[in-house]
Amino acid sequence: MLVQAGVPHDLHPYEHDPASELSYGLEAAASLGVDPRAVFKTLCVQVDGTLTMALVPVSGSLDLKAVAKATGAKRAVMAEPAAAERATGYVVGGISPLGGRKRLPAVIDESALDLARVYVSGGRRGLDISLAPADLVRLTGATTAPIGKDS
């Protein structure tokens, strides 16, 4: 998808450790030596019944009320992992906002716009992709909003 769109990006493979006690995103940040505020996790949420991707830095957590507000919905809840995997074609811990089975609406935490590059899953555990935040927003058709919380 990125190559076809002519978007500059880099692939960052790393050795995923199934025994790691870190979250997938924090493991990626540590393995790649990247600030966790620049590594974004892709979470699937149900927003008034519509499966939606929410991207926030791995250094924090998702504010479901903020996602609902950003999408003009009444309610947002975390999606069942199986539903996320079916819709995206990716496994939990490797869900990429790019190139999934189905294009889902997306909201990206506005902090991404403060960075030169962001890192997102490349579609499997042990692979991240870095690209300009503006390209990520454009390719996903995302809106940006303050949807992350510091942990």
Q: How far apart are CA 111 and CA 141, in angstroms?
A: 17
What is the spatial distance between Cα 32 and Cα 111, in angstroms, rounded to a whole number? Answer: 20
For position 126, which CATH number holds? 3.90.960.10
pLDDT in tens, 80-130: 999 999 999 999 989 999 999 989 999 999 999 999 999 999 999 999 999
| Cβ count within 10 A of residue 26 | 16
**Lookup result for tokens 């303050």:** 146
Please say whether the dihedral angle defined by the alpha carbons of residues 89, 93, 97 and 98, taken in this order, is positive or negative: negative
Instruction: Count up the domains in the chain and report the number.
Output: 1
Q: What is the pLDDT of residue 134?
A: 97
In tens, the pLDDT along 37-84 reads: 999 999 999 999 999 999 999 999 999 999 999 999 999 999 999 999
Residue 6: give the domain boundaries.
2-147
User: Is the model's pLDDT at 19 over the cut of 90?
Assistant: no
